[in-house]
Structure 1
Amino acid sequence: MSFPSYLNNRRQLLALGWLVFLLVVATLADWLPLPYAPGASDLTHLAEPPFAGLADPQHWLGTDPQGHDLLAGLIFGARTTLVVSVPAALLAIGVGVLLGSAAGFWGDTNLRIPLGYLLGISCLLLVGLFSGFHLWPAPTLAWPLTLLGFAVTILFVTKYGWFLRRVTIALPVDRLVMSVIALLESIPRLILVLVVASVQESSVFTLLIVLSLTYWTGPARLIRAEVMRIRVLPYIEAVRASGLTNLSILAYHVLPNASRSVRTAFPLSIAALIGLETTLSFLGIGLPTETASWGRLMATARLDPTAWWLIAEPGLLLLCTMLALRQLALSTDHPSK
C-alpha cells in the first residue's frame, strides 16, 4: 500500500469513527449520566468557562450566561442535528432521484400520458390545493366542495374514459422539472429557507420538510445528467430491443449505474443541511425554543461576548462533523483499491 493510500485510509477511518461516535452519543443522550438536563439552569454558575472548578467540577465544558450546562447542550444538540439533517437529506435525495431521473430519461417528448389520466390527476391536485391551503370561498363549504370535486372528477373520467384513454399527449417532464429547479435556484437557498421556515409553525418535522423541499434541486441535477449520459449507451439500446418497458429499463438498468453520484452527494447533502439547520437555529428560526441545538448554543454568545467557549465548543463539533462528511464523500467518489 502506498503512503498516500495509507493516509487516505486513516482519514476515512477517523471520519467514520467520529460519525459513529456522534451517532452513538446522540442516540444514547437520554440514558447518559449527565448531571444537568439541557434546559436546566444553574444560577450559581453563570457563564462559567470550561474546567473552572477542577476540585469539584459540576460543568466540565462550562455554562452559558443563563446557567445551562454546555455538555448536555452539545450532546442533545447533536441528536437534534442528526434527527433533522439525515432524514432531510434522505428525503431530498429521494425527491431529486425521482424527478431528475424522470427528466433525464424521458426528456420532453418520450413520456406520453392518456389525456384522461392527465385531466384526472390535474383536477385532483387542484382540489387538494384548494383544500390544503383553505382557498374555498367559505370554510363551512370546504369538505362538501372537496368531496364534490373528487366525485365529479371520478365520474367524468369514468364516463369519457374510453375516449380519453385513446388520446395521449407528450408530457414535457424535463422542461417542467428544470423550470422548477431554475425557479428555486434563482432565490438564494438560505433566504428561501428563512422565509418558508419563518411563516411555518416551529417544529422539527416542519423544519425537516422545509429543508428537504428546498434542497432536492442539486441531487436532481446530478442524477439527470447521469441518466442522460447512460440512456444513450449501447447496452441500453440492446435492453430496449429485448422488449422491456421504459420503467423497467430505468429501474433495473439505468438507476443502478447512475447511483454513484447519489452516493457521493449524500454525505455532502447532510453536511450542507447541518449548516442550514445550525444557521436557522442561530437566528432563532425553525426549531422550538426548548429544543437544544448547536446553533442556539452559539447564539447565546451574544449575551456575553467574552464567553469564547460558547462559540468554540459547538463550532469545533460542527467543523469536525462537516470535515468527516466531506472525507466520507471523497472516499465514496474515489474508493481505495
Structure 2
Amino acid sequence: MVDANHSCAALKDQFGRTANYLRLSVTDRCDLRCTYCMTENMTFLPRKDVLSLEELYRLSTVFINHGVRKIRLTGGEPLVRKNVMSLFENLSRHMVSGELDELTLTTNGSLLSRYAGGLADCGVERVNVSLDTLDAERYRTITRWGKIDRVFAGLDAAQDAGLKVKLNAVAQKGQFERELDDLIRFAHGRNMDLTLIEEMPLGGSASCRSASFLSLGELRQRLEAQWTLEPLSETTGGPAKYVRLQETGGKIGFITPMSCDFCSDCNRIRLSCTGQLYTCMGQEGGLSLKDALRQSDGNETVAQLIRNKVFEKPRGHEFHIGEHDVNGITRAMSTLGG
C-alpha cells in the first residue's frame, strides 16, 4: 500500500516505473467509424455517465500534483466534445506555470481546420493525426464514411498555425503495404513524421485480427531493403522507437505492442471520460474515480485511489495475435483512444 501522507509524491508502481504521462479520454464518441477501432453501429455512453469538462480538469490537476508532466487528450475523437477548448484553456495554465511539459492530442483530423489556431494559442505545439491511406476511396472504406479532404485541410491548418504534425498509421496486411512508400513520401515531403502502429486485439472484432495483423518487425526488414534507416535514440515520451530515413531526412516511428514488448519502461496511465482509471491498455480492469470525485470536496480520497491503483499496475499487457489464435480484450479502442 502506498503511504497516504505523500500526497504529491510521484506515481510509482510496484516495479519501480514512474507514471508521468496521462492519456485523457474526453469522449467515447467519434464522427468516424474506423474498422479497426469500432463497430459501424456503436452504442455510445449516455451523456449522464460522462464526466463534465470541469470534473476532467479537476482529476487532471490531481495527476499533475503527482508528477504527471504530459497530458494527451484523446477520444473517441476529442474535438467532437462540446466546449472541449475550455479544457485545453484550463490545462494550458499549467504549461505557463511549468507544471506541465506538454499538452497535446491525438485526432482524426476531420475538425482540425476549425481548432488548429485555438490549440496553438493554448500552448499545444504538436498533434498526432491518424491517417492510414492517401486514397480517398480507401479512406472512406476504412472510416466507413470519412472525407479525406477534411483531413488534408486540417493538416494545412495545423501547419499554418505552427503546430508540428505527426501522422499515425495502423499497419495491416494488404493494400496498406502497397501504399506505405507513398505515405512515407507524403509525410516527409511535408515535414511530418510518420508512426506505424501494430494492430491490437481490442473490441468486438478482436478475433478477426489474425488475418490482417502485420508485424512491424517484418515490415521494418522490408523497409531496410528499400530505404536507409538510421536508428535514433530520441523519444517523444511514448512507446515509439524512431529511425531516420537518409533519403528523405524524415523520421518513422514503430509502435510494436504485439511483436516487441515495450512494457518494461511504460510511463503511461489512462483515464476514460467516465472517470475509469486504467494503468494498462491491454488489461480489462479499471478503477472508477467518479463517485469519490463527486462525493468529496477535497481531492485526497481520489488521490489515494490513484496512488494505490498505479502502484498495482501489472508488469505488462496480455495481448497476443497468433496465426490461429487471438488473445485480446472486449473494450473498444475508442474507449481510451489507443
TM-score, normalization by structure 2:
0.21
Which structure is richer in relative contact order (CA contacts within 8 A, separation 6 or more)?
Answer: 1
TM-score, normalization by structure 1:
0.21
Structure whose alpha-carbon radius of gyration is higher: 1
When you count helix as a share of all residues, which structure comes out higher? 1
